[in-house]
Each structure stands twice: as structure tokens, then as C-alpha cells.
Amino acid sequence: MDTPTLLNLQTVESPDWCPGCGDFGILMGIKKAIVSLGRPLHDTIIVSGIGCSGKLNHFVNVYGFEGLHGRTLPVAQAIHLANSKLNVIAVGGDGDGYGIGMEHFMHAMRRNMNITYIVHNNQVYGLTKGQYSPTMEVGRKTSSSPHGTLEIPVNPIAMAMAAQGATFVARGFAGDIKHLHELILGGINHQGFALIDVLQPCVTFNKVNNYDFYKARVYKLQEDTTYDTTNAAMATERSKEWEKRIAIGIFYKVEQPQYEQHISALREKPLVEHDISNIDISPLYKEFM
């Protein structure tokens, strides 16, 4: 059988997002990055959660797993531990990853597994009619905060730096597909955990943080020749910019030992390649079935 290609759209569904949704830009960035890798498509798996972003792996002709809300990273980590030769891409929303899945987000970075985590950050729960998410600004009125939000918003870049384990921390913008594609490709090629937080306009439920809002503020970190991607303090400081300027690009990138390098069985070869023909699991069947 011929290896499928991304151009064979008969094998995947068509996106059903709102016209103009920032998810389209992220989808194209991921597709372009996968093509740029030059690897067989069956070497990649996209793990997603619940929300508008959760359907993304339906629209790419690679392996996919759609799990529970907030549980994207546990599944992605399990897949990576089982077969470290796979290119594992985890996709989630800001509510999925920075809300119910926050504990998984923090500990996944500490482990530094070789996973690329792409977060659609639009400050709302778009699939359920625009309730505010953990990244929403204080005072914003939404369907779930008619008098304005009260909580200080989560700053995912700053939190990644505080996790003391993240080795590739970046932010992209869904309105700049070329730059986003480069960030995603860089995250995939990075040996370790890569976070790419993406400014993703929700054109239906967030009328403030739209394309014009971001285009007037975003600037590329890598165009600043004085910026040092190995300087954690500098990355944290730049992550705090928002009202007038918003940085996109690679905030932080270092090489550190990966989780699996500490485990002899995983250093030798992927778990799926280990010989288990001499292991008898019949006692487990008797006990649990």
C-alpha cells in the first residue's frame, strides 16, 4: 500500500471551525512542519483533548488520538514512553492545558520528554459558547462573567520558565503561518519537551483579542540580536509584555537530559521493540478478569 500524503484529503475530514478561526492557521502550521520533516506520515501521531482544538487530528493524515478534557499530555507521554521513535505532537486549548490540565502541564515540563505541545490560546472556551478561560484578562465580560473576570490571568510562558524543566519555550501567532510553521518545526526537532503557546483569535466569542489586536502588538524575538534564548531571566521578563508589545518566537531553548535517558530499558531501545515472548501474563488474567 502506498504511504498516504497530506494532499490525499479524501482520507481525512474537512475542518468545521468558524470561518476566520485561528485554528486554521495552526492547522496549516502543523501540516507544513510535518511536510518539512520529510518523514513517513505514519511516524507522527497527534494527541488532542476536548474543545475546538480537539478535532485538529481529524484533519491531518497521520495517526491521532482524541482523549479527555485536560488529559492530553498524560496520553502523549505514555505514547512517547512506549515508542520513542514516534514524532509525538500534543494539541490542546488554553482551557484544556492551563485549566483542568495544569498539573499535567507543569509535570510534563519537569520530565522533559521529547514531545511537542501546541496550545491554542484564545482566552475563552470557544466550543461551549465563550466562557472565560484561565488566560482571560481581568475585568473582561463574558457569558460566564457578566460583571467581569476577577482572577489574574495565567501567563503560560512565565509558568513554563518557573517549572524548572522546560527546555524549549515559544509563542506563535496564528495570523503568521510562516513564522508559526518554523516554530513548530523547531519544537519537533528539539530533543526534549517543547511548548508552543499560540495566540489564536476566536472570531466568534472574543471580539477584543482579534487579528488586528495582535498584528498591532506582536514582534519577533529573534529579530532582536541582543536577545539570548539561554537566558531564563530574560525570557521571564519578556513574557510579561502584553498591553503595548507582545513577543513571539523562541523565549528559551537549552539542551538537557531527557526523561528516558535516565531509564536503562528506554536508553537501549523503545519499549515496543523489547522481546516479551518469555513473559507469562496469565496470572494477571486470572486475578483481574
Establish how many alpha carbons lie within 13 A of residue 224's alpha carbon, considering only the half-sphere containing its beta carbon: 15
Dist. CA 117–CA 179, nearest whole Å: 17
> For strand 124-125 and strand 131-132, is the pairing parallel, antiparallel, or unpaired?
antiparallel
Size (the chain), residues: 289
Report the Cα 39 to chain-centroid distance in Å. Answer: 20
Domain coordinates in residue numbering, the chain: 9-288
Per-residue pLDDT of the chain (289 residues; tens, 9 = 90+): 344 444 333 356 788 899 999 999 999 999 999 999 999 999 999 999 988 999 999 999 999 999 888 899 999 999 999 999 999 999 999 989 999 888 899 999 999 999 999 999 999 988 888 888 899 999 888 888 888 889 999 999 999 999 877 899 999 999 999 999 999 999 999 999 999 999 999 999 999 999 999 999 999 999 999 999 999 999 999 999 998 999 999 999 999 999 988 988 888 888 899 888 888 888 988 898 8
Residues 134 and 284: their CA atoms lie apart, in Å, by 43
d(CA 107, CA 120): 20
> Does the domain made of 9-288 have the CATH classification 3.40.50.620?
no
Dig out the grid coordinates for 91 from the structure: 494539541
What pTM value is reported for the model? 0.91
**Closest residue by Cα to residue 57 from 74, 69, 45, 68:** 45
Residue 53's Cβ-side half-sphere holds a number of Cα atoms within 13 Å equal to 36
Cβ 151 vs Cβ 138: under 8 Å: yes
Which residues, other chains included, contact 250 with Cβ-Cβ below 8 Å and sequence gap of 6+? 168, 169, 170, 183, 186, 221, 222, 229
Task: Read off the DSSP letter of residue 54.
Answer: G
User: How many CA atoms lie within 13 Å of 228's alpha carbon, on the beta-carbon side?
Assistant: 5
